């Protein structure tokens, strides 16, 4: 096992910083990671989605349209519960399966993992890359999430994929995204300053 603080370069390059984003559906994880990448640039910063290799493999195994599973469509929602169940089975057999796939060939120095959902995801990155991997929790009120289209769905919103990090403990960063644009901008500036200090 790699000691904390010693990155394991062969897994896809040696990132200077990995931010592991988590949060409930419609909390704004994608919005925040896209905002950071747009300011840092594609040459420096990559957004990694653990759901990408999951959806790709799920589509292959079940004869589905991978591209349609990537967007926020009714097509994806129709298969969400089955994908969650299938993904859990894969993770139980090999907790690092999707993590290893998502870092393959990434050359940028800053990695934003936009959809960390389980303690096993965080543990994998921290064991593989040490202190370079930090956690970011994006939080939003239920009201804010509902305004963005969130509706509680049994089997989804009460599954481990949504609740696995509810009691994680101390996140390195917490971004409040309740709809106050000025407050969000302040938090993004602080996080961006930290990221730039690692370049």
Q: Which pLDDT tens digit goes with each residue over 177-189?
A: 999 999 999 999 9
Q: Hey, what are 113's tokens?
A: 């993992």
Q: Does domain 9-197 have CATH number 3.40.50.300?
A: yes
The HSE-up count of residue 35 (CA atoms within 13 Å, CB side) is 16
* Alpha-helical segments (H) within the chain: 29-40, 51-62, 66-70, 74-93, 97-103, 119-129, 142-147, 160-163, 181-197
Instruction: List, as residue ranges, the binding site.
Output: 24-30, 148, 177-178, 187
pLDDT of residue 25: 93
Find, among 161, 185, 165, the residue nearest to 175 by Cα. 185
| Domain locations along the chain | 9-197
Q: What's phi and psi for 160, nearest 5 deg?
A: -60, -30
pLDDT of residue 2: 32
pLDDT digits 0-9 by tens, 153-168 = 998 899 888 999 999 9
Q: Hey, what are 3's tokens?
A: 């000691």
pLDDT of residue 72: 65
**3-state DSSP call for residue 79?**
helix
Instruction: List, as residue ranges, the binding site for substrate.
Output: 177
pLDDT of residue 70: 81
Instruction: List, as residue ranges, the binding site for ATP.
Output: 24-30, 148, 178, 187
């Amino acid at each position: 096992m790699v000691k904390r603080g010693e990155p394991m370069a062969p897994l896809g390059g040696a990132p200077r910083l990995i931010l592991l984003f988590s949060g409930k559906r419609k909390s704004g994880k994608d919005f925040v990671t896209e905002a950071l990448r747009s300011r840092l640039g594609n040459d420096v910063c990559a957004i990694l989605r653990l759901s990408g290799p999951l959806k790709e493999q799920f589509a292959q195994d079940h004869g589905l349209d991978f591209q349609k599973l990537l967007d926020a469509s009714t097509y994806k929602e129709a298969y969400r519960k089955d994908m969650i169940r299938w993904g859990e089975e894969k993770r139980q057999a090999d907790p690092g399966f999707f993590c290893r796939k998502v870092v393959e060939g990434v050359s940028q120095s800053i990695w934003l993992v936009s959809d960390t959902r389980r303690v096993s995801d965080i543990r994998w990155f921290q064991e593989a890359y040490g202190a370079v991997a930090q956690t970011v929790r994006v939080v939003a009120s239920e009201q804010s999430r509902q305004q963005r289209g969130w509706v509680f769905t049994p089997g989804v919103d009460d599954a481990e994929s949504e609740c696995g990090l509810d009691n994680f403990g101390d996140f390195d960063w917490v971004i409040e995204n309740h709809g106050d644009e000025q407050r969000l901008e302040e938090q993004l500036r602080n996080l961006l300053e930290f990221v730039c200090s690692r370049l």
